[in-house]
Amino acid sequence: MDDSPVDLGQMVASCCLPWIVRNLWLIPAIPMVASGLIALLKQPYKRVSQTLAIGAMAFSFLLSLCAFSRVFLSWQAGTQTRYLFNFDWMAMGASSVQIGWLLDPLAAVMLVMVTFVGSLIFIYSTGYMAHDKNATRFFCFLSLFAGGMLGVIIANSLLLLFMCWEIVGLTSYLLIGFWYHKPSAAAAAKKAFLTTRIGDIFFLLGIVWLFAQTGTTLFYNYGAGAIEPAALTTLLGQGAGFGLTAATAIALLIFAGAAGKSGQLPLHVWLPDAMEGPTPVSALIHAATMVAAGVYLVARVYPLMAAGAGPGQTTVALTVVAWIGAATALFGALVAVAQNDIKRILAYSTVSQLGYMMVGLATGGVAVGMFHLITHAFFKALLFLGAGSVIHGCHEEQDIRNMGGLRKAMPLTYATYMVGMLALSGFPLIFSGFWSKDAIVGAAHSWVGSQGPFYMLLTGAVLTAFYMTRQIALVFFGSYRGHGHAHESPLVMTVPLAILAFFAVVLGVLGTPAWPWFTGFIESRPVPFDWAGFSEPGLLPLMAVATVLVFLGLGVGWSLYGAKQRKTAEELDPVEQAVPAVAGFLGNRMYFDELYEATVLRWYAWAAALAGWLDVRVWGGLVAAVALGFRGLGRANKAVDSDWIDGSFDKGCEELVTGGGLLAWMQAGRAPGYLRVLGLGVLVLAGIALVAASVTGQVRL
C-alpha cells in the first residue's frame, strides 16, 4: 500500500485495537490445533480426544463471549462497532495479497452461536459416539470443522473466507463419509463435495474478478475495501455484458457459491444425502452452522449485493436471491411432506428454511435473514439431536413408519422435540421461530420486487406445520411399531437437548417488533422498547394470517396423522392414498437426482469418454501417422543411400511399426538418417501447428 493516508489510518487503528481483536484468530485456531493434536492420537485415546475437542471448543466459546461483549460495549457506548485487523499474506508483483479478520456485530453473534451450539453438540457426541471405535477420528474432524467455520465467520477477506469455506467443505466430506465402509456414505460424501464445488468454482471466479477490479480481497479496509463505497462505485461503472454491471455479475457468482453451501435450488441435491453422516454431524454441520455459511456469506457481502439500489429499490442480484430462496423454501417444504426417514424430513426442512433466510436477506436486509439463521440454528440443532436420540433409542431405526408412541418411552426427548417442532412450525408468540419467520414473511410482503416470494413463503409455512405434525404424530404418538424396546438416551445427550430447547423459546425475545434488539445490534443503532412497534400498518393482520396458516397446517396434519394413527408400518400414507401421483412425485424428490443423472452426469461421462477416445485415437493416431511418414522416408532413404544402410533396415522398420521403435533403428548407427528424419518430423509438426494457427486467424503467415 503506497497510499500513505490509508496506511496511517490503519496504523493508528491497529495500535489501539483491543486485545480480543488482535487475537481474534485464536478463536478458530484453538479448535484447529486441537484437531491436529487429536489426529496424532491413536484410536484407544477416545477420552483424551473428547476432552481436547470439548475443551478447545469451550475455550473458543469464552473468547467469543469476550469478543461479543467488546462489540456490545462499543454499541452501548455509541462508538464504532467494526474492528479490523489486516496484514500482508503474500507478495504479488508490486503489490501484495492482504488478508485479515474483523469483528463486528454480525461476526460476534455468529461466533457466539457457533461456539455455543458447537459445544453442546460436542458434548452430546460423546454419548452418541460412545460405542464407535473410530470416535477419536470423529472428534478430530469435528474440531477441524469448528475451526474452519469460525474462520469463515471472522474472515475480513473473501480469499481467507474462501479458504476456511473449503476446509469446512472438506470436514463435511470427511464426516458425511465417516462410516466409509458403507458405500452409500462414501458416495454421499463425494456428492456433497462435488456439488458444493460446482458452486465454489463460480465463487472462485467471483473472487478473482473482484480482486482484479478492486485490487483487494478485503471486505473492509478503512475505505479501501472491496465492498466499501469507493470500490462499489467502480464496480457499478463497469459493464459485464448482458446489461449487467460488474457488481451484479460478481454478486451473482458469489451467490452461486452460497447456493452450493446452503443447499439452494438447483444445488440442493447433496444436503439430504448428507444425512448418511452421524446425527451430531447432521445437527452441527448440515443444519445449524455450515449450511448457514452461505447465508452468512450473502449477509457479509450484502453491500455488494445491494450496490446501486436507492431507498425503496432492489437490485438484480437481490431479486435473484429472493426468487431462488423462495423457490427453495417452497420446494423443500413440499418434498419434506412425502419423506419417511426422520432425518431426511429434517434435511428437506433445512433446505426450506435456508430458502426463508435467503428471502429474508434479499427482501428485508441482513438482520432479518440473520435472525432466522440464529433461531433456526438452535431449534434445528435441537430437532436433529432429538432425532438422534430417537434413532439411538429405537436401535438405529430411521423410518418414522417403524416408530410411534415414543412419548412414553422417551419423555425428555419428546418434550424437547415438541419445543423444536413448534418453533420450526412458527407457533405464535412463545416460540422464537414465530418471530424470526414472521419478520421474513413481513419483509417479503413489503418487498418492492414482487409478491411472488411472499405467497410462496406463506404456502411453505402451512406445509412446514403440516409435515412437522406428521412427523411427531408418527414418531411420538400412537403405538410403538418398531422392534425391540425403545429407551431414553443418557443424560449427556438429553441435557444438551434441554438447553437448546430453552433457547429455542427465549431467543424470540430479541426480535419482537416492540423490541427489535437483534436488528438494532446488527445495524448498530439504539433500540428503545416500544409497544408501538406492533402498530406498524399491516403488521398485526399479517401476523394473524401467519397464525391462521400455522394452525391450518397443524390441524390438517393432526387430523390426517394424529387423530387416526396408523396401526402397522406397511399401511399407505393418507396423502399417498388420496393423491398417489403427487405423493410419488414428492417422495422421489421431484426427480432432481434422476434429472441430473440423465443430463449433467451423462454429459460428464460422455466428455470423459471423448477425451479418452481423442487421446487414444486422434492424438495417438496423429503420432502414428507421423511415424508412418518417417517409415516411408526411411524407405526412400534406403533407395538413395543404400551404400551406408545395411540389411537390417527392414527389421528396423518392423520395430518401428510394432513399438514405435524409432530408437532401435537409430541405435543401429544410422545417425545422419535419423537426424534427417527428425528434422522432417519437426517440420511436419510445426506445419500442423501453423496451419492450425492460420485457420484460426491468429498468425500472419
Partner 1 sequence: MTNLLTTITVLPAIGALVALLSGKRAIRTASVFSLASLALAMRIWFLLDFDGKMSLVERSPWVPTLGIEYHLGVDGLGALMLILSALVTLMAVAASRKVTTNPGLYFALVLLLESGLMGTFTALNFFHWFLYWELSLIPAFFLIKLWGGANRGPAATQFFVYTMVGSVGLLLAFLALFVSTGTMDFEALAQLASLGTLEPMITAHLGPVALWLAVGVLLGFAVKVPLMPFHTWLPNTYAEAPTAITMLLTGAMSKMGVYGILRLALPIFGHQMAQMRGVLLTLAVLTVVAGAWAAVVQKDLKRVFAYSSVNHLGYCLLAIFAVCIPATGDPAVTLSRAAALDGVVLQMFNHGITAAAIFWFLALIQERSGGSLAIDGFGGLRKPAPILAGMMGIALFSSLGLPGLNGFVSEFLIFRGIFPLAWQAATVAVLGLLITAAVILTVIQKVFAGPVAEKWAAFPDMNRAERFGLAPILTLMLMLGLGPQLILSVVNPTVVHWLAGWRF
Site string for partner 1, 97-116 (x = CB under 8 A): --------------------
142 or 522: whose CB is closer to partner 1? 142
Q: How far is the CB of 257 from partner 1 (least distance, A)?
A: 12
Stretch that binds partner 1, among 85-93, 262-270, 578-586, 639-647 (CB under 8 A): 85-93
- Report the site for partner 1 in 205-234 (rule: CB under 8 A): 205, 208-209, 211-212, 215
Q: Phi and psi of 468, rounded to 5°?
A: -70, -35
- Report the site for partner 1 in 628-657 (rule: CB under 8 A): none
Selected from 78, 660, 669, 672, the binder of partner 1 by CB under 8 A is 660
**CA nearest neighbour of 278 among 139, 431, 382, 163:** 139
Write down the residue that cell numbers 418398531 correspond to.
482
Size of the site for partner 1 (CB under 8 A): 77
Q: Exposed, middle or buried by CB within 10 Å (0-12, 13-18, 19+), for 94?
A: exposed
Selected from 53, 149, 167, 338, the binder of partner 1 by CB under 8 A is 167
Using an 8 Å Cβ cutoff, are 331 and 323 in contact? no
**497 lines the binding site for partner 1 (CB under 8 A):** no
**40 lines the binding site for partner 1 (CB under 8 A):** no
**87 lines the binding site for partner 1 (CB under 8 A):** no
Stretch that binds partner 1, among 108-116, 279-287, 338-346, 659-667 (CB under 8 A): 659-667
**CA nearest neighbour of 649 among 632, 663, 668, 629:** 668
**479 lines the binding site for partner 1 (CB under 8 A):** no
169 or 562: whose CB is closer to partner 1? 169
Q: How far is the CB of 132 from partner 1 (least distance, A)?
A: 14
191 or 470: whose CB is closer to partner 1? 191
Selected from 39, 66, 244, 552, the binder of partner 1 by CB under 8 A is 39
- Report the site for partner 1 in 589-618 (rule: CB under 8 A): 604-605, 607-612, 614-615, 618
Q: In this structure, is the dihedral angle defined by the CA atoms of residues 56, 61, 67 and 70, taken in order, positive or negative?
A: negative
Q: How far is the CB of 692 from partner 1 (least distance, A)?
A: 6
Chain center to CA of 479: 38
Selected from 33, 41, 198, 542, the binder of partner 1 by CB under 8 A is 198
Q: How far is the CB of 614 from partner 1 (least distance, A)?
A: 7
- Write the CB contacts of 149 (distance below 8 Å, at least 6 apart in sequence): 28, 114, 118, 164, 168, 289, 290, 293
Q: Exposed, middle or buried by CB within 10 Å (0-12, 13-18, 19+), for 455?
A: middle
- Write the CB contacts of 109 (distance below 8 Å, at least 6 apart in sequence): 68, 370, 374, 518, 521, 522
Using an 8 Å Cβ cutoff, are 294 and 169 in contact? no
The span from the CA of 690 to the CA of 205, in Å, is 32
200 or 573: whose CB is closer to partner 1? 200
User: Which helix (H) or strand (E) segment is 551 a member of?
Assistant: helix 539-557
Selected from 76, 180, 584, 588, the binder of partner 1 by CB under 8 A is 180
Stretch that binds partner 1, among 114-122, 166-174, 267-275, 592-600 (CB under 8 A): 166-174
Selected from 30, 103, 110, 204, the binder of partner 1 by CB under 8 A is 204
Selected from 197, 565, 587, 596, the binder of partner 1 by CB under 8 A is 197
- Write the CB contacts of 503 (distance below 8 Å, at least 6 apart in sequence): 378, 432
Using an 8 Å Cβ cutoff, are 460 and 330 in contact? yes
The span from the CA of 487 to the CA of 469, in Å, is 22
Q: Exposed, middle or buried by CB within 10 Å (0-12, 13-18, 19+), for 133?
A: exposed
**17 lines the binding site for partner 1 (CB under 8 A):** no
Q: In this structure, is the dihedral angle defined by the CA atoms of residues 638, 641, 647 and 649, taken in order, positive or negative?
A: negative
**531 lines the binding site for partner 1 (CB under 8 A):** no
Q: How far is the CB of 679 from partner 1 (least distance, A)?
A: 6
- Report the site for partner 1 in 436-465 (rule: CB under 8 A): none
Mode of pairing for the β-strands spanning 83-92 and 95-103: antiparallel
Selected from 29, 37, 194, 418, the binder of partner 1 by CB under 8 A is 194
Q: How far is the CB of 220 from partner 1 (least distance, A)?
A: 20
Selected from 170, 542, 552, 582, the binder of partner 1 by CB under 8 A is 170
